[in-house]
Amino acid sequence: MSTWQQLLAEKAQRWLVTGAAGFIGSHLVESLLKQGQTVVGLDNFSTGYRKNVDAVRSAVGVAAAARFTFIEADITDPVACAKACQGVQRVLHQAALGSVPRSMENPRLTHVNNVDGFFNMLVAARDAKVERFVYASSSSVYGSNRELPKQEDKTGQCLSPYAASKAVNETYALAFEQAYGLRTAGLRYFNVFGPRQDPNGAYAAVIPRWTSRLVRGEACEVYGDGETSRDFCYVDNVVQANVLAALREGADVSGTVYNVAVGTKTSLNQLYRGIRALVPGASAQEAKYLPERKGDIRDSLADISRVQARLGYSPTHTLQQGLEVTVPSFLSQEPLG
């Protein structure tokens, strides 16, 4: 049994997972239910899917599913946020509008969901006397800072409204900790991937999108020269980090942010070759190179020493190990994409 599972086994509690129908949120709900916890899920299905909620219920079984309550609502509704937080000890706040390109096209919508919605959740958690509020931040807050690896205390200028919204979240969370004693922890995700990630739409993440295109014999689009690099993090690592941030005790655990990644840099060209090798019949397919996108950072690599030292985080999956689980999960979908 891993450390985070041991912590869950010590005490059954009531958790709220916002964005519960989404990719990361549904994995959090599933893991908590499998470990005997009671879970409230909140989602408005703007980017999440009912099929993810159904998949969770199927994966955990009837007895565990009975400990799951789902609320279809929006975090932009303060009343819904207050209702969802009632009787909850731990909040894992994942609900947001992701995607740098989406935020460039519609900054107002990003702000309403990611800033106003976040504020509503902080107020609701404070009023409900939640014991710990863990929230999803993003590696995009490093912005113009090109120094590698990325260290939590060295951010740059935000390059997109999405990055700005996450930076505001971090500021608000720290303010609520200082002003009201709400214990918070922010997790700066680095390019999370895994089963249930959406391969469709203009803002689909690169791994499911490329897998879907390779299956259909279509060219995968690479923005820039392909040497742009990222620190790709399998979703099981993210689940571990959330639980540890919610349950670890210590004076230096809350009131801060943590990088959540593997600590390994991979170029898009390397990633493309890795995915292509796992898709039957795709070995000869070449990528299509397009101009770089505005708002994208060139390189990203996390320093994970803080999350390791303070939370006891230890990645269980490398990029390759994660791809070996993820790509077959996409291939088995009917239809894919």
Q: Which residues are catalytic?
A: 162
Give CA angle at 172 (252, 70), nearest 5°: 90
Task: Check if the beta carbon of residue 25 is closer than 8 Å to that of residue 47.
Answer: no
Q: Are strands 266-267 and 14-18 parallel, antiparallel or unpaired?
A: unpaired
Half-sphere exposure of residue 204: CA atoms within 13 angstroms, side-chain side: 19
d(CA 32, CA 13): 10
Q: Are strands 229-230 and 266-267 parallel, antiparallel or unpaired?
A: antiparallel
How many Cβ atoms are within 10 Å of 252's Cβ, its own excluded?
A: 10
d(CA 233, CA 136): 14
d(CA 264, CA 251): 29
d(CA 178, CA 184): 10
